[in-house]
Chain A
Amino acid sequence: MQESQAIIERVRRVAPTVLRLEVAVHRAHGAIGGGQLLLARVAEQYDPYLREMWQPIARRSETQLIIERPAVRDYTPGATVSLIGPVGKPVPLREGGRALLLVAAEASPTALLFLANAALAKGAAVALVLIGAAGRYPVEALPQEIEVHRVGDYAIWPERDRMLTWADQVVATAPPPLDTPIYVRLAEDLKRIRLQPPPELATVLFQMPMPCGVGACQACLVRIGGEDVPACTDGPGFNLFSVKLGG
């Protein structure tokens, strides 16, 4: 974890609503893993006040990351950025896994793409399910090897049982407050479908705001095993079956 400067080297608009930034970073930030993020401050001014939560989608080298951002503001090549991170713990790909199922509900699948690219590089099959508003994501920006399914709602996901049976590993993400109901249903389905789901089968990524990134402000607490733990230090990916969902 450290704070250091980075430089935006290039900005590419891969779709009308999606930008990808090629960013030269400190080696410590270049070592980021899937599921982790960086807290970025682009301007010296205090508006926006909170740091942006940057999710890398790929690592070009030890010191270059590809960051995906929604195209709601401009980024200037050559601009200096203050980065804090890596925030959280990396989500490991399951050893020997050959089928990765990614589920993005009601928000962009950006947080899942680093894992998708890493799995593809290992020769695994990757399927991405975009539920609800996530279906607006421009799939042309995704690698062609990813099998994409768009569904209107979790409840009417037609291939749900078959895909949950197929997957060696499931990683899901949804924004608060929609995350809890989605994760509850996913956990129920996995317990119903899989006889003895292994603990590393399913991971959920929490995307609540993380003002500090070090577990001090307590804005990102998640209930795990009877205790509140910060998603920014112990997550943001948690074993689906260890999270206390639904209050």
Chain B
Amino acid sequence: MLEIFAGKQSLRLAKPIMNAAGVMGFGGEYNKLIPPDTFGAFVTNPLTWRGLRAAEGMRVAALDSGMLIHTGLPNPGLQRAVQRYGARWANSPIPVIVHVAANTADELTACAGYLDGIDKVAALEVGLADHATHREARLMIGAARSRTQLPILARLPLYQAGQIAAAAVEAGADALVVAAPPRGSARDPISGRLIGGRVYGTWLKALALRAVGWVARNVHVPIIGSGGIHTPDDAREFLEAGARAIQLDSVIWIRPSMAALIAEDLTVGMMTRAANSLADDMYTGYIDPAARRAQLLPSPPPLPPPPTLPED
């Protein structure tokens, strides 16, 4: 169980795993593929104070072992979203964390103030801009903190995570999500145009893992690791790096069944591993660390045969 405290309120996660913002919709979209109680919490798609329309043109580009996606953060606006999805959030068996994206502190203040006091919302996740500075991080998190008692999770941009983590905590963030998927560009093969957007893939793990490790060593609030987790081993590596929980992103789209596998492995497999007992039946890919070391390290040279003794 992970508990994130924010003064009088707290966010309790029965399992150290949740989805990343932007992956599972606004509530209920994945119910037929992933049981709602698979995770410890549900994070909504990004919501803005005023509604946004979908981006025009091509929105997805395939990459090697990854993808680029550019949606424009379409959403009906925070107030309409609460009206439309509030009943689903109220019926959710797990805490609902509303992710808010804002360009200005005023917008964030409005969002935080509106969500404060809505009992179906367990926490607020604030997405910070990709190039946010110390000052901007303090301004935005401070703006949200001033209007809500809810636990605040600050989602840090990957390349700025180390620089602004402390500022976000000082301004009132109760936990840090490390990190948001970075932005990239790719060519749409049909139109021939370059499109820009968030990039996801297996290769993201190494970058996010390093960021988690650095931030965990330098700030002292719970870290939620996110970025490129595709297997139970990936998830464990984030926890070993210092994260107290993890978020799954694009693996949910391409292999939804892996979400349950990772969740099971984190909640049951951790005990199995610590007790050094047999591999978890749920995940046939599990390899005992000792066996893995034996695979990777060269085996010692065979001993020479003992000298034969001369016959008498």
Closest residue on chain B to residue A232 by CB atoms: B29
A46 to B258, CA, bound (A): 13
A233 to B25, CA, bound (A): 12
Chain B interface mostly = loop
Chain A residues with CB under 8 Å of B69's CB are 211, 217, 219
A60 to B14, CA, bound (A): 46
Chain A residues with CB under 8 Å of B62's CB are 48-50, 209
Known contacts: A50-B60, A216-B45, A218-B45. The answer to whether A175 contacts B255 by CB under 8 A is no
Residue pair B190, A176 in contact (C-beta under 8 Å):
yes
A199 is an interface residue with CB less than 8 A from chain B? no
Chain A residues with CB under 8 Å of B74's CB are 218, 221, 228
**A72 vs chain B, min Cβ distance (A):** 12
Residue pair B64, A211 in contact (C-beta under 8 Å):
no
Residue pair A221, B71 in contact (C-beta under 8 Å):
yes
A177 is an interface residue with CB less than 8 A from chain B? yes
Residue pair A217, B66 in contact (C-beta under 8 Å):
no
- For A173-188 the 0/1 string (1 means CB < 8 A from B) is 0011110000000000
B194 is an interface residue with CB less than 8 A from chain A? no
The residues in A between 212 and 247 inclusive whose CB is less than 8 angstroms from any CB of B are 212, 214-221, 223, 228, 233, 247
The residues in A between 48 and 68 inclusive whose CB is less than 8 angstroms from any CB of B are 48-51
Chain A residues with CB under 8 Å of B57's CB are 176-177
B2 is an interface residue with CB less than 8 A from chain A? no
Known contacts: A217-B23, A219-B69, A221-B71. The answer to whether A208 contacts B58 by CB under 8 A is yes
Residue pair A41, B255 in contact (C-beta under 8 Å):
yes
Residue pair B60, A219 in contact (C-beta under 8 Å):
yes
- For A89-130 the 0/1 string (1 means CB < 8 A from B) is 000000000000000000000000000000000000000000
Q: Contacting A46 at CB < 8 Å: which of B22, B59, B230?
A: B230
Known contacts: A41-B254, A46-B201, A228-B74. The answer to whether A214 contacts B33 by CB under 8 A is yes
B256 is an interface residue with CB less than 8 A from chain A? yes
A82 is an interface residue with CB less than 8 A from chain B? yes
Residue pair B65, A46 in contact (C-beta under 8 Å):
yes
Q: Contacting A247 at CB < 8 Å: which of B56, B58, B67, B71?
A: B56
Q: Contacting B24 at CB < 8 Å: which of A84, A216, A233, A247?
A: A216
Q: Contacting B30 at CB < 8 Å: which of A47, A214, A220?
A: A214
Q: Contacting A177 at CB < 8 Å: which of B54, B191, B201, B202?
A: B191
Residue pair B32, A216 in contact (C-beta under 8 Å):
no
The residues in B between 34 and 59 inclusive whose CB is less than 8 angstroms from any CB of A are 45, 53-54, 56-59
A218 to B23, CA, bound (A): 9
The residues in B between 149 and 206 inclusive whose CB is less than 8 angstroms from any CB of A are 190-191, 201-202
Closest residue on chain A to residue B54 by CB atoms: A221
B63 is an interface residue with CB less than 8 A from chain A? yes
Q: Contacting B33 at CB < 8 Å: which of A2, A46, A177?
A: A2
Residue pair B64, A217 in contact (C-beta under 8 Å):
no
**B188 vs chain A, min Cβ distance (A):** 8
A3 is an interface residue with CB less than 8 A from chain B? yes
Residue pair A216, B54 in contact (C-beta under 8 Å):
no
**A53 vs chain B, min Cβ distance (A):** 11
Closest residue on chain A to residue B33 by CB atoms: A3
Closest residue on chain A to residue B285 by CB atoms: A44
The residues in A between 124 and 150 inclusive whose CB is less than 8 angstroms from any CB of B are none
Residue pair B254, A50 in contact (C-beta under 8 Å):
yes
B85 is an interface residue with CB less than 8 A from chain A? no
Residue pair B23, A216 in contact (C-beta under 8 Å):
yes
Closest residue on chain A to residue B256 by CB atoms: A3
B257 is an interface residue with CB less than 8 A from chain A? yes
Q: Contacting B254 at CB < 8 Å: which of A178, A211, A233?
A: A211
Known contacts: A216-B23, A216-B30, A218-B45. The answer to whether A47 contacts B65 by CB under 8 A is yes
A15 is an interface residue with CB less than 8 A from chain B? no
Known contacts: A47-B64, A228-B54. The answer to whether A82 contacts B59 by CB under 8 A is no
Chain A residues with CB under 8 Å of B250's CB are 49, 211
- For B113-135 the 0/1 string (1 means CB < 8 A from A) is 00000000000000000000000
Chain A residues with CB under 8 Å of B30's CB are 214, 216
A1 is an interface residue with CB less than 8 A from chain B? yes
Chain A residues with CB under 8 Å of B24's CB are 216
Chain B residues with CB under 8 Å of A177's CB are 57-58, 190-191
Residue pair A2, B32 in contact (C-beta under 8 Å):
yes
**A246 vs chain B, min Cβ distance (A):** 11
A150 to B53, CA, bound (A): 37
13 chain-A/chain-B pairs, Cβ below 8 angstroms: A46-B65, A49-B63, A49-B66, A49-B67, A50-B62, A208-B58, A211-B60, A214-B25, A216-B253, A219-B59, A219-B71, A221-B71, A247-B56
Known: A176-B57, A218-B45. 11 other contacts (CB 8 A): A46-B65, A50-B67, A50-B254, A82-B255, A209-B59, A211-B67, A211-B69, A212-B252, A216-B24, A218-B25, A218-B74
* Closest 7 pairs (CB-CB, A-B): A216-B25, A221-B54, A209-B60, A216-B29, A212-B253, A1-B32, A219-B59
